[in-house]
Amino acid sequence: MSNAMLIDITRCVGCGECTRACIAANDLPEGDDTQLSCARYTVVNEVGNPQASVRQLCMHCVEPTCVSACLVGAFRKTATGAVVYDEEKCIGCRYCMQACPFSVPKYEWSSLAPRIKKCSFCHSRVSQGKLPACVEACPAGASVFGDRNELIREAHHRINENPGEYVDHVYGEHEAGGTSVLFLSAVPFGLLGFPDNLPTEPIPRLSWKILKEIPKYAVVSSLLLFGIHWITARRAYVEKIEHRDSETEELR
Amino acid sequence: MKQAWKRRYSFWSLTAAVLIVIGLVGVIQRYAFGLGETTNLSDRFPWGLWIGFDILVGVGLAAGGFTIAAAVHIFNIERFRPILKPTILTAFLGYLLVIAGLLVDLGKPWAIWHALIYWNTSSVMFEVAWCVMLYTVVLALEFSPVVLERFNLQAPLRVIRAITIPVVVTGVILSTLHQSSLGSLFIIIPGRMHPLWYSTILPFLFLISSIAAGLAMTIVESQLSAKAFGRKIEVPLLADLARVVVVVLATFLAVRVQDLINRDALRFALEPTYQSGLFWVEIVLGTFVPIALLLIPRFRHTANGLFNASVLVLLGFVANRLNTAITSMEQWPDRTYMPSWQEVAITLGLAAVGFALFSAGVRYLNVFGPQEDPGARQRQEVLSQGSRTTSRRTDTVCAEASSHI
């Protein structure tokens, strides 16, 4: 079963209990509660006009860009839906930070052995059968956790049952090939700062289209280069022989 | 005249020494206090000057290495042989400096070897890492005859000469892959890059522009070292290179503009923005002007003309890479970046190390002298003997093939 989280922005009261629960569960240090950082894996902000309380956290993409981008494979999408990071493998190139379409991975800039920091979907809690800390703490029922397919059905059900209350869009159903964090909103997502220009094709496929051609390129170009060398070397040799023959001709 | 050059040369040595010392201070601070303290990199701007210049520009300027190696060894264009060794040296030093730059930029440089054991073949960065490693080895092999000749080590020389063609072919493949993969790195960022730079054909654009820049670098470097070491500048040879530069640059310009039209992005160049300004700097300074100048024969056939046009090509190339890596990601006022003094100092310091190593190489190794050519002796023998049995001919072919490589 692949898990997901459905966040209903219309139900969120912006109390920040999710942020505090996350800090406690992950033992995070002091930090700015308004933006994601190496000290905050989820934050809630009042954004847009009309205002809405919007949570930010790792979207746990179905086909994550960070997983494909990391050269040492430090990111992994688990069977339960979480995108987790292995700090032992990481070399600190920060390509995941560039690659993430949601700008989620954050870096321990002030550390001498810096690591990437981001939400792990409470992977260890969930594997013990518990809920993610933020979902458990939410007093308004704005964040719920469950099977991704069921939550998508639930999201469309809410849209259909409450005409006019939501924009007809489940954010994360198709964005970047689909994510395991899904949002419902009354305001168009672009106005709330959600990236609204993402392809529905999983982003890793953009680079795979090029990477998969490399073996072919290597074979064809080496044949071509050896072939050209064969021809030009032969031509140079023949020229030399002819030159030499004409010289000996003259000597005679 | 000679005195003046000597004075100038020592002026540049002093400048390099000062830059290296300041750069070292930057390096010490970076390792002592971390990236956050010493750079203006941040969560909003995780890649800055070091990736934009030390890596993207550094690798691009080394592209002369595979181009000239292919011209001489694969296409047998003997005319270019005199500039082969200095160009390979430039490329080799360029790659060493790229690795040095990486060690500064990586958050955990001591873990760089992880790339050897943890493989993720769906990562462009994985391709980049392996190309850096393998092509550096290839460049070392390609340059090794110069060092082996210096110490007269005949046995390894024979081995290197025997495998030259496979080594050069491998080098051309790795280098073209590497140049293009640096463009592929950005393909995964469709949302955040400015449309004047984001394109799915970035790998192809990076490859073409690196060839022009690599050859322009060869022209500049030949002239600088000719002046520094009191050698004659080979204007006709460099003018030939400049003609190739014109063709490659024009191709680049055509593909670049066509791509902008296809993506309906040319309109962004006409908007009065900071980005469009830097786009025009890149296009006008780096392509239009040098193409126009180099098309004028009187200009192309003078040392100064060649030099100035090539410097413009290089500046345009630097602008293109910095624009791709930095300008295209900037969004005023939320997301902006200016390098810290340590970032600038380390970049300049690395460049100065490059110049210093190059001149040391020229001074202590036979980089510009005529290549020792054991095949020539054999050919001489064949000529004087005058015997031409078929088997003898076959022997000569082998000897010539192996020596020529």
Q: Are A207 and A63 in contact (CB under 8 A)?
A: no
Q: Which of A107, A206, A229 sits opposite B43 (nearest CB)?
A: A107
Q: Are residues A222 and A155 in the same domain?
A: no
Strand order across the A3-8 sheet: A143-147, A3-8, A181-184
Q: Are residues A84 and A173 in the same domain?
A: yes
Q: For residue B193, which residues of chain A lie inside 8 Å, CB to CB? A: none
Spell out the alpha helix ranges (H) of B106-123. 114-117
Please count the residues of chain A.
Answer: 252
Q: Are residues A225 and A242 in the same domain?
A: yes
d(CA B120, CA B23): 34
d(CA A11, CA A29): 29
Q: Are residues A179 and A247 in the same domain?
A: no
Q: Are A127 and B66 in contact (CB under 8 A)?
A: no
What residues contact A235, with CB distance under 8 A and at least 6 apart? B76
Size of interface A-B (CB pairs under 8 A): 181
| Statement: residue A251 has pLDDT above 80 | no
pLDDT digits (tens, 9 = 90+) for A124-177: 999 999 999 999 999 999 999 999 999 999 999 999 999 999 999 999 999 999
Q: Which of A89, A94, A113 sits opposite B114 (nearest CB)?
A: A89
d(CA B144, CA A225): 22
Q: Are B115 and A72 in contact (CB under 8 A)?
A: yes
Closest CA to B250 of B258, B260, B239: B258
Q: Are residues A104 and A143 in the same domain?
A: yes
Q: What is the DSSP string of B252-309?
A: HHHHHHHHHHHTT-HHHHHS-SHHHHHHHIIIIIIIIHHHHHHHSHHHHTSHHHHHHH
Nearest CA in chain A to B115: A72
Flag if B400 and A237 touch (Cβ within 8 Å): yes
Q: Are residues A103 and A194 in the same domain?
A: yes
> CA of B126, closest CA in chain A: separation in Å?
4
- pLDDT for residue B376: 47
User: Does any CB of chain A come closer than 8 Å to the CB of residue B203?
Assistant: yes
Task: Give the domain range for residue A52.
Answer: 3-205
| Residue matched to tokens 């040595």 | B13
User: Does any CB of chain B come closer than 8 Å to the CB of residue A220?
Assistant: no
d(CA A177, CA B363): 58
Q: Are residues A146 and A109 in the same domain?
A: yes
Radius of gyration of chain A (CA): 27
d(CA B193, CA B329): 5
The percentage of chain A sitting over the pLDDT mark of 90, rounded to a whole number, equals 89
Is residue B395 in a domain? no
Is residue B402 in a domain? no
Q: Are B57 and B98 in contact (CB under 8 A)?
A: no
Burial class (CB in 10 A: 0-12, 13-18, 19+), B240: middle
Q: Which of B31, B176, B187 sits opposite A210 (nearest CB)?
A: B187
- The encoded tokens of residue B341 equal 């003094």
- The encoded tokens of residue B250 equal 């024009």
d(CA A149, CA A62): 12
- pLDDT for residue A246: 81
Flag if A204 and B118 touch (Cβ within 8 Å): no
Domains: count for chain A: 2
Q: Are residues A128 and A198 in the same domain?
A: yes
Q: Are residues A178 and A71 in the same domain?
A: yes
Q: What is the ipTM of this complex?
A: 0.91
- The encoded tokens of residue B115 equal 């790339």
Q: Which of A70, A98, A106 sits opposite B189 (nearest CB)?
A: A98
Is residue B355 in a domain? yes
d(CA B104, CA A244): 57
Q: Are B225 and B86 in contact (CB under 8 A)?
A: yes
**What backbone torsions phi and psi does residue B102 show, to the nearest 5 degrees?**
-60, -40
- pLDDT for residue B3: 65
SS3 A40: strand
- The encoded tokens of residue B152 equal 């007269």
For residue B176, what is the enclosing H or E element?
A: helix B164-184
- The encoded tokens of residue A25 equal 């569960």
Closest CA to B74 of A242, A224, A239: A224
Model confidence at A252, in pLDDT bands (50, 70, 90)? low
d(CA B380, CA A233): 19
Mean pLDDT score across all residues of chain A: 94
Domains: count for chain B: 1
> CA of B228, closest CA in chain A: separation in Å?
35
> CA of A28, closest CA in chain B: separation in Å?
17
Flag if A106 and B43 touch (Cβ within 8 Å): yes
Torsion of CA B57, B60, B64, B66, to 10 degrees: 150
> CA of A25, closest CA in chain B: separation in Å?
23
- The encoded tokens of residue A219 equal 């074979």
DSSP symbol at A130:
P
Q: Which of B46, B126, B187 sits opposite A94 (nearest CB)?
A: B46
- The encoded tokens of residue B346 equal 């380390």
- pLDDT for residue A229: 95
Chain A window 157-196: which residues touch B at a Cβ cutoff of 8 Å?
195
Query: A25-57: buried (b, 16+ CB within 10 Å) or exposed (e) per residue?
Result: bbebeeeeeeebbbbbbbbbbebbeeebbbbbb
- pLDDT for residue B5: 62
- pLDDT for residue A48: 83
Burial class (CB in 10 A: 0-12, 13-18, 19+), B133: middle
Nearest 5°: CA angle at A17, between A120 and A23? 45
What residues contact A168, with CB distance under 8 A and at least 6 apart? A159
Q: What is the CATH number of the domain that holds B95?
A: 1.20.1630.10
Closest CA to B212 of B76, B311, B96, B355: B311
Is residue B132 in a domain? yes
d(CA B277, CA B273): 6
Q: Are A155 and A6 in contact (CB under 8 A)?
A: yes
- How many CB atoms within 10 Å of residue A160? 10
Higher pLDDT, B9 or A90: A90
Q: How many Cα atoms occupy the beta-carbon half-sphere of B99 within 13 Å? A: 17
The percentage of chain A sitting over the pLDDT mark of 70, rounded to a whole number, equals 98
User: Does any CB of chain A come closer than 8 Å to the CB of residue B387?
Assistant: no
- pLDDT for residue B227: 84
What residues contact A71, with CB distance under 8 A and at least 6 apart? A91, A93, A95, B115, B118, B120, B123, B125, B126, B128, B129
- How many CB atoms within 10 Å of residue B72? 22
Q: Are residues A7 and A59 in the same domain?
A: yes
Q: Are residues A53 and A132 in the same domain?
A: yes
Model confidence at A32, in pLDDT bands (50, 70, 90)? very high
Flag if A109 and B70 touch (Cβ within 8 Å): no
d(CA B142, CA B137): 9
Is residue B387 in a domain? no
- pLDDT for residue B6: 65
What residues contact B87, with CB distance under 8 A and at least 6 apart? B64, B65, B68, B69, B218, B221
Is residue B400 in a domain? no
DSSP E strand boundaries for B201-338:
none
Task: Give the domain range for residue B306.
Answer: 2-381
d(CA A46, CA A135): 19
Q: Which residues pair with A232 in a beta bridge?
A: none
Q: What is the CATH number of the domain that holds A115?
A: 3.30.70.20
One pLDDT digit (tens) per residue for chain B, 405 residues: 556 666 666 888 899 999 999 999 999 999 999 999 999 999 999 999 999 999 999 999 999 999 999 999 999 999 999 999 999 999 999 999 999 999 999 999 999 999 999 999 999 999 999 999 999 999 999 999 999 999 999 999 999 999 999 999 999 999 999 999 999 999 999 888 999 999 999 999 999 999 999 999 999 999 988 888 888 888 999 999 999 999 999 999 999 999 999 999 999 999 999 999 999 999 999 999 999 999 999 999 999 999 999 999 999 999 999 999 999 998 876 788 999 999 999 999 999 999 999 989 988 998 887 644 444 444 444 444 544 444 444 444 444 444 443
d(CA A95, CA B30): 20
Closest CA to B212 of B72, B64, B84: B64
Flag if A94 and B119 touch (Cβ within 8 Å): no
Q: Are residues A183 and A227 in the same domain?
A: no
User: Does any CB of chain A come closer than 8 Å to the CB of residue B89?
Assistant: no
DSSP E strand boundaries for A50-169:
52-56, 75-77, 83-85, 106-107, 116-117, 143-147
Please count the residues of chain B.
Answer: 405
> CA of B266, closest CA in chain A: separation in Å?
19
Q: How many Cα atoms occupy the beta-carbon half-sphere of A63 within 13 Å? A: 16
